Amino acid sequence: MSLTEHGPAPAPPASSISRFGQKLLPLLYQHRLMSTGHLHRLLTPRTRRPVYLLRQLGVLRAAGLVDRVDRRTGKMGRCEQLWYITPWGCELVELSGEVTARPYRISPRAAASQLQEHTLAVVETGLAFVEWAGRLGDECGPLDWEPELAHRVREGDNRMGDDAFLVPDAVLRYTHTTDEGRRQLLTFFVEIDRATMQVSRLAQKLSTYARYATYTPVQGRRRQARGAVREAWRDRYPAFPRLLIVFSGAGPAALARRTKDLRALAAVDPRLAQDGLLRAGVTTFELLYKHGPFAPIVMPLLGPPEPTNVLLTPFSTA
């Protein structure tokens, strides 16, 4: 970051940033941490090498708008560059109004911490949807998934947020065109499990999703009497989003056991059986990346153990 006598230099005006840079900054703002490879696949997928991308990143870094950390890949000690937006870059993006403003700011320490693997796994999952949308003639763009959006699930104030809010790893929006030419506007809650969380904790989060499906904010007595009260999710989504849990970080046998255990815990949770509003399923990143979201890659967490796709409906009626 460029410096003055009193600290970081002010961010340059948006008009001085290239059009490519103006596309790149909102990506880093929304997704927090991305590798050069991620940005190459999203912004310059038709070029063999990211020469222009790296040049533009260098310009933005010299202007104090982005910075980077190195991540060892385990391949002959090589490192890959991970990019994140600086506070000056955040200020510039927020002034543009292109994406939803977020209070979170990633620090150099956070970018280099253990959080990076989980953050990058969320990006990889969103990228898989984007690339398959391109192959299938569907729509899902670089900004069509948002990480860690908070959803209130109970009244009151809990500073830790563990009980009052549901925070999916990402909310992803996808427009699918069926074989009949019908367009489906789909929304998914996405949870990434790198085989590091206890299955019982995953099951608790499933129950929290079910609680959100029926959560109704407290309103004034007059509005309650008029019957105007409705579930909170209806103010954000046209239909309750499907929940997709994406496993990675372990072998097929271990992931199959986690799926079986999670289905068993879901089957005995009375909250999940209410109303049947929560449609949830499990897949692996490898299956999603290799076969795409509309192949039989998803195991439903409720009902018969028959693989389906991300629509979570039987193939006979999908």
Q: CA distances (Å), 113 to each of 108, 120, 138, 156, 234, in order?
A: 9, 12, 35, 32, 36
What is the spatial distance between Cα 127 and Cα 311, in angstroms, rounded to a whole number? 19
Quote the tokens at residue 149.
């959006």
Contact 64, 1 (CB under 8 A): yes
Domain ranges of the chain: 3-112, 116-300
Instruction: Give residue 82's pLDDT band: very low, low, confident or very high (50, 70, 90).
Output: very high
Print burial letters for 58-79: b (CB count within 10 Å at least 16), e (below 16).
eebbebbbbbbbebeeeeeeee
What is the spatial distance between Cα 206 and Cα 269, in angstroms, rounded to a whole number? 9
- Looking at residue 103, what is its pLDDT? 86
The length of the chain is 318
What is the spatial distance between Cα 120 and Cα 124, in angstroms, rounded to a whole number? 6
Sign of CA pseudo-dihedral 30, 12, 19, 52? negative
- Looking at residue 5, what is its pLDDT? 43
Query: Residue 222 class from Cβ within 10 Å (0-12 exposed, 13-18 middle, 19+ buried)?
Result: exposed
- For residue 157, is pLDDT > 70? no
- For residue 197, is pLDDT > 90? no
- Looking at residue 2, what is its pLDDT? 44
Quick: pLDDT tens for 209-255: 999 999 998 765 444 445 567 899 999 999 999 999 999 888 888 88
Which residues on neighbouring strands pair with residue 246, listed in sequence order? 192, 283
- Looking at residue 115, what is its pLDDT? 84
What is the spatial distance between Cα 269 and Cα 213, in angstroms, rounded to a whole number? 15
Instruction: Give residue 75's pLDDT band: very low, low, confident or very high (50, 70, 90).
Output: low
Quick: pLDDT tens for 28-42: 999 999 999 999 999
Query: Residue 293 class from Cβ within 10 Å (0-12 exposed, 13-18 middle, 19+ buried)?
Result: buried
- Looking at residue 50, what is its pLDDT? 94
Instruction: Give residue 167's pLDDT band: very low, low, confident or very high (50, 70, 90).
Output: very high
- For residue 16, is pLDDT > 50? yes
Mean pLDDT of the chain: 87
Q: Please list the alpha-helical segments (H only) found in the chain.
A: 19-31, 36-43, 51-62, 87-96, 108-111, 115-136, 199-214, 221-225, 252-267, 270-273, 285-291
What is the spatial distance between Cα 300 and Cα 194, in angstroms, rounded to a whole number? 19
Please report, rounded to a whole number, the percentage of residues in the chain having pLDDT higher than 90.
64
Contacts of 186 (CB under 8 A, 6+ apart): 173, 174, 175, 176, 242, 310, 311
- For residue 192, is pLDDT > 60? yes
Instruction: Give residue 161's pLDDT band: very low, low, confident or very high (50, 70, 90).
Output: very low
Quick: pLDDT tens for 250-275: 888 888 999 999 999 999 988 887 66
- For residue 61, is pLDDT > 90? yes
What is the spatial distance between Cα 304 and Cα 15, in angstroms, rounded to a whole number? 56
- Looking at residue 6, what is its pLDDT? 41
Find the distance separating the first CA and the last CA of the chain, reported in whole Å.
52
CA atoms within 13 A on the CB side of 53: 22
Q: Stretch 101-121: mean pLDDT, rounded?
A: 88
Could you tell me which CATH number the domain at 3-112 has?
1.10.10.10
pTM recorded for the entire structure: 0.88
- For residue 79, is pLDDT > 90? no
Phi, psi of 48 (to 5 degrees): -70, -40
- For residue 65, is pLDDT > 70? yes
